[in-house]
Structure 1
Amino acid sequence: MLDIERLQAALASAPAAGLVEALAGELVAQGAATGVRLLLVDYRLTTLLPLDGPGTDRPAATDRQSDGAAWRCFDGQAAVSDRDTVWVPVTARGERFGVLSLTPTAGWDERLLDLGRLLAHELAAARPTTDRYVIGSRSRRLTLAAEMQWEMLPGRACSGPQFALAGQLEPAYAVKGDTFDWAAGTDRLTLSVLDGMGEGVDAASLSLLATSALRNARRAGLGIADQAMMADSALYAQYGGARHVSLLLAEIDLRTGQLSMVDTGSPLLLLSRGDDLIILEPDRLEPIGMFDGSRYAAQAYQLHPGDRLVIVSDGVHLAELAGRRYGDADLRRLVRRSRPMAPLDVVRTLVGDLRVFVSGELDDDAAAVCLDWFGTAGPDVQ
């Protein structure tokens, strides 16, 4: 039987960059497991990368084409046993870091799942103080603009009793001005999808300024209409109307399911409810930063338990090949086909489908966000 308290203490006292080694050492000391390895999912959600110490040769990655135990564990979010090895999901509050593989010395123990959750929480706490796990998640170098965007993200997935939420940027290693942000409080969930005009670092800088202004206003207790006006003022003061950001800013009352939105541009919002797929079209207002003193107002909708929202930037719905746009029919088919999937799997499948549609890399960058609304009686989340 695993002594989880001892494992927790070992991880809590370990240096930020030494979590896996501390975990492996404690498991061996307890006579519980050997061969401990952490595989981190890459930025594109297509590869599981083994984490190894400095100076070692990195083993081959496990890509999406291989139907191995590691991917069954990651996709199904459940422990998988393959011969002598057990794979455990490393996930905290919906954020999937990867999977842990180990060889139990005394047979299967149900508390191995606790082990994966424990490691995930420690990774979340350690990541801001070490580059080891960030570097370990990369299959190649990011552009500077992409580095800026990924560092600003709140994560790639988040969940609570009432909702599950995930987002993805593409091209993951070279994204420019498209980004997203969210924050979950005790009674509110705030979500934004942004598209900063321009290319490269200029576009990333614009989106980061807008995101920071929105966060500053939100943390001051302002409503979403005032948040949009504060961001508009910040961008106009910096650029004088020469640069702007398209924004969909949404807030969900976690007690009632009321959805309030401010829409200033390119993001497209699809609502999947039962067998229906509806495009929500709130009044389109001026992009933030375009004019001095723009005024914004929120529009309200009511979410029902079981609803799914899919929000995509114009890099998704306006992507074109041979005169045909992805958003005309392909996007709707994908949203319907992916209905049984979890939100992270939806955005992963969506950007993969989009790459197939354009036969390679995107000409424009793209952001995709998926939110499932369970209602006030939703599932518990670890």
Structure 2
Amino acid sequence: MDSKQVAKEIRSSIKNGNVEKAAELIGSNIELLNMMTPFGTWLHVAASRGKLDVVKKLVELGSNINTLGGMYGGGALNEAASEGHIDIVRYLLSYGANMDTNEPERNPLFGAISNGHVNIARLLIESGIDTNVKYSGESMKDIDALTFAREQGQLEIVKLLENQRELRTTITEVNDNNQDDHDEILEHVTKYFGTIQDTIIEIVPGNKVSVNIHIISPSMNKDFVTLVTTGMSDVSMGYSNEESEFKYAELLLKLPSSWVVGKENMEDKNYYWPLEWLRKVAHIPHIYDGWLAEGVILPNGEPPQPFALNTKLSCIMVCHPREFGLDNVQVEQGDITIYTLVPIYEEERNLALEKGYEYLLKKMNEKGISDVLDINRINVGL
């Protein structure tokens, strides 16, 4: 078959949801995988058609989820949001898809609003899409998401956006009141790891709190990058009287010194997933009205899926820090517990479920596994 016929066959197999046929036609040809058609890349085609299994296979083969193209000139996320395929929107977000707001046509929230997809609008808002960006042009002037939803008569989405705006105002007031506590937390942590080099601010709050991630570069004594949160402890976790010591918490995660942390790699899932999960775990107690404690293990889906293409790690384990005294900070609102997050394999989670969290820690210690992320370390659960 010539190239035109191959492309036609691939598109036909995607439309029919024939994963095996599409994969067979593409093979290991990266150029063919990411070729640009009038409808965008094959990922755009699969996303717009609602073919989740094909989307997963294309991502597995190495398709770039953030390539621009298609009817709206945006990413595959925009196609899925506009067409109402929430399962694909959720999947692409889990793999670090950009919520592109550079142009209204490329904005997935505007796509969801245009077509009345309330659940997708809710998911995008909860995932932190910028709802304040305003657009001006020939057909619009200073139009943000709320104004657009009103113009489109999407009353349910209008209510979502109004509630989010009220929540953001409340959180801003809470953050202002808690800044002194944040400073005390950071002062405590920097005694162990060094000074803060940079901060990634959560512009759009998630649920009840806004979680910021602070970055501490490696030093002579600490050959790793330290990430620490503030904001999680602004609101207490759900807890019972017996577990009152777990009322407030912040999180810490260690990356190898070679790990690149910065705005330039925010679009690369292979680098960004530890930051994404640090923030995700920080929000879990407030979203689900529960609490975190030592030994809790959180899987990336069920069954657990690898966090990125370059590792088989798929779960996060909550641990007490190895540094003596680090885990407790006393501030005005109460004691704050600091936990270290340690990525583990699915088999290690199963081992912990079978024999206990402490047994898994013992096995990891015996193999010399530290709490610094190593995407290729041995798996003690095998």
Structure that is richer in helix per residue = 2
Structure that is richer in strand per residue = 1
Q: Which one scores higher on RCO, CA 8 angstroms, separation ≥ 6?
A: 1
TM-score higher than 0.5 here? no
Compute the TM-score of the two structures, normalised by the length of structure 1: 0.31
Compute the TM-score of the two structures, normalised by the length of structure 2: 0.31
Report which of the two structures shows the higher radius of gyration computed on alpha carbons. Answer: 2
